[in-house]
Amino acid sequence: MNASATAPRPARDFGKVAVLMGGTSAEREISLMSGTNVLEGLLRKGVDAQAFDPADRSVFELERAGFRRVFIALHGRLGEDGTVQGALELMKIPYTGSGVMASALCMDKVRTKLVWLGSGVPTPRHVIVTAQSDWTAVAAQIGLPLIVKPAHEGSTLGLTKVESVEKIAGAYELAARYDSLVLAEEFIHGTEFTVGILDDAALPVIRIEAPQGNYDYQHKYFSDATHYHCPCGLPGAQEKELQALTLRAVAALGCRGWGRADLMLRADGKPFLLEMNTSPGMTGHSLVPMAARAAGITFDDLVVRILESAHAG
């Protein structure tokens, strides 16, 4: 048989690679889509990769099964939050993305904001809210409209834009279904952007144009009503400023390898960091692959580069 007709040889021999996908978080379905895409990309590049779902098998089986390297395509708790990263460090298996500390920190939007506030990285004003909160006082402190969101969830789950004091309690109750820690945040009127990180550098900025008032899960992931622009349409110098700010925000959190920061550019030109995603989506609608493409990096090259940046702690 002609050897060249078999699977392409990988640029580097990574050994047996596990793509962690699925898991038990609220974002399981998105993770399965991300992981399947990643797996297919790695296989096309000739990497000896296999799917591994921590909902089916303990991650501690990775070591016995002979996996040499792990691509983490899990989103949310028990995957993006430092727990799996810690388990992999105990097993000394190199893994993609941020380490234990930064993964755990970025999972918590309140603590992320505290680090940014302490580092001079602009982020919208916020207050932690509880069932005992005085909603009139919250509205007076933060202003209306405001955003109510759970501190630990992703994919806009449990997030509401609130226009009046009477609606804050209901928004709190929804967010509290997802999380015991809930924040109310100043609503930033302006334009939404997201900045992908690859090999600790910023990718081209993406501008997100969502239909008015739609901040929900369905729209973000399954609808064609949201438009993404890359190139983002900002003047070059302003795009570079957003990239530089994102790199400062990422450095303050101690993130590593790859990721994606969400931010708002207020109508007066002032940027605000919303959150940092340490294991961003890799689905057909996902934004890091879109930004990479704009930088001339194909999806398959992207997944190999992320895998190359894996570290053992």
Ligand X SMILES: Nc1ncnc2c1ncn2[C@@H]1O[C@H](COP(=O)(O)OP(=O)(O)O)[C@@H](O)[C@H]1O
Interface positions with ligand X (CB under 6 A): 124, 147, 149, 154-156, 159, 185-188, 192, 215, 262, 264, 274-275
What's the closest the beta carbon of residue 269 comes to Mg ion, in angstroms?
21
Q: Which does residue 215 bind out of ligand X, Mg ion, none, counting CB within 5 to 8 angstroms by kind?
A: ligand X
What's the closest the beta carbon of residue 238 comes to ligand X, in angstroms?
19
Q: Which does residue 159 bind out of Mg ion, ligand X, none, counting CB within 5 to 8 angstroms by kind?
A: ligand X
| Residues contacting residue 212 through CB under 8 Å, at least 6 positions apart | none
Q: Which does residue 115 bind out of Mg ion, ligand X, none, counting CB within 5 to 8 angstroms by kind?
A: none
| Beta strand spans in the chain (E) | 17-20, 49-52, 69-72, 126-129, 146-150, 160-162, 182-186, 190-198, 201-202, 206-209, 227-229, 259-266, 271-277
What's the closest the beta carbon of residue 261 comes to Mg ion, in angstroms?
9
The answer to whether residue 2 is catalytic is: no
Q: Are 148 and 183 in contact (CB under 8 A)?
A: yes
The answer to whether residue 77 is catalytic is: no
The answer to whether residue 262 is catalytic is: yes
Instruction: Kindly tell me which of 16 and 187 has the beta carbon lying closer to ligand X.
Output: 187
What's the closest the beta carbon of residue 284 comes to ligand X, in angstroms?
18
The answer to whether residue 155 is catalytic is: yes
| Rg over CA atoms, the chain | 20
- The Cβ-side half-sphere exposure at 239, using a 13 Å CA radius, reads 15
Confirm or reject binding of residue 262 to Mg ion (CB under 5 A).
Answer: yes
* Residue for token pair 């916020």: 126
Q: Which residues pair with 197 in a beta bridge?
A: 202, 259
The answer to whether residue 241 is catalytic is: no
Q: What's the CA gap between 27 and 108, in Å, rounded?
A: 16
What's the closest the beta carbon of residue 48 comes to ligand X, in angstroms?
33
> Would you give the DSSP letter of residue 77?
T
Q: Which of 34, 103, 155, 279 is catalytic?
A: 155
The answer to whether residue 300 is catalytic is: no
Confirm or reject binding of residue 239 to Mg ion (CB under 5 A).
Answer: no
Q: Which of 178, 221, 239, 257 is catalytic?
A: 221
Which has the closest alpha carbon to 205: 231, 237, 177, 227? 231
The answer to whether residue 268 is catalytic is: no
What φ, ψ does residue 6 adopt, rounded to 5°? Answer: -80, -175
The answer to whether residue 98 is catalytic is: no
Number of residues that bind Mg ion (CB under 5 A): 1
Instruction: Kindly tell me which of 139 and 288 has the beta carbon lying closer to Mg ion.
Output: 288
Q: What's the CA gap between 92 and 62, in Å, rounded?
A: 11
Q: Which of 77, 79, 275, 279 is catalytic?
A: 275
Q: How far apart are the first and last CA of the chain?
A: 42
Q: Which of 27, 53, 186, 239 is catalytic?
A: 27
Q: Which of 69, 77, 207, 260 is catalytic?
A: 260
Which residues are tagged catalytic? Answer: 27, 155, 221, 260, 262, 275, 277, 281
Binding site for Mg ion (CB under 5 A): 262
